[in-house]
């Protein structure tokens, strides 16, 4: 998907400092497990970031050598401190050339993408959600960039009016046969 949007309601607690809201890691444990194929990161002082390409760098490192650049971080060009103990809507739109960050209805800013965000294979280990001191609700992926009107509809009504009027919801995710075995 060349353009897409993530929305999530977030409430950082007083003890929150920084952490991922959502992260797909290239490897589950050991060296490289702290990297992100792609992820949404939040820092209480600097604001939201998109971190990605951990698999691009990790795969190129010869055994026994260390890497200086582990992944790419795209954030705001200015500080956007996160309000603690307050629920807000975080929206991140991603195009092939830039990332735009919104808090509630306010556009915090846009930053260029140095390269396209790609996915990685992580052996069906899934995606990690949340960090200590962070409450999240209504995380949703849209396979297109939301307009300001769409963001306002989610902020005011809890969803896009087109979804509400049709009585639709996000499509159900199909499970792999392996994952379905663990449904009890």
pLDDT tens for 20-70 read 998 877 666 665 566 667 789 999 999 999 887 665 655 555 555 555 557
CA angle 32, 38, 42 (to 5 degrees): 100
In which order are the strands placed within the sheet that holds 88-94?
A: 106-112, 98-103, 88-94, 4-12, 134-142
Give me the half-sphere count of Cα atoms (radius 13 Å) on the Cβ side of residue 159.
Answer: 12
Tokens 């830039």 — which residue?
Answer: 98
| CA–centroid distance for 138 within its chain | 13
Query: How confident is the model at residue 175, as a pLDDT?
Result: 55
d(CA 50, CA 114) in angstroms, rounded, equals 12
């Amino acid at each position: 998907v060349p353009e897409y949007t993530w929305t999530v309601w977030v409430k950082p607690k007083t003890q929150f400092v920084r952490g991922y809201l959502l992260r797909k890691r290239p490897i589950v444990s050991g060296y490289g497990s702290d990297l992100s194929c792609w992820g949404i990161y939040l820092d209480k002082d600097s604001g939201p970031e998109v971190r990605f390409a951990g698999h691009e760098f990790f795969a190129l490192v010869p055994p026994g050598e260390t890497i200086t650049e582990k992944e790419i971080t795209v954030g705001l060009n200015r500080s956007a401190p996160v309000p603690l103990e307050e629920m807000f809507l975080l929206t991140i739109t991603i195009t092939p050339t830039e990332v735009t960050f919104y808090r509630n209805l306010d556009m915090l800013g846009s930053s260029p993408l140095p390269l396209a965000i790609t996915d990685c294979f992580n052996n069906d280990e899934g995606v990690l959600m949340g960090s200590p001191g962070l409450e999240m609700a209504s995380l949703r992926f849209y396979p297109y960039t939301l307009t300001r009107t769409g963001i306002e509809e989610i902020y005011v009504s809890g969803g896009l009016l087109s979804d509400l009027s049709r009585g639709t919801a996000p499509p159900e995710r199909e499970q792999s046969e392996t994952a379905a075995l663990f449904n009890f």
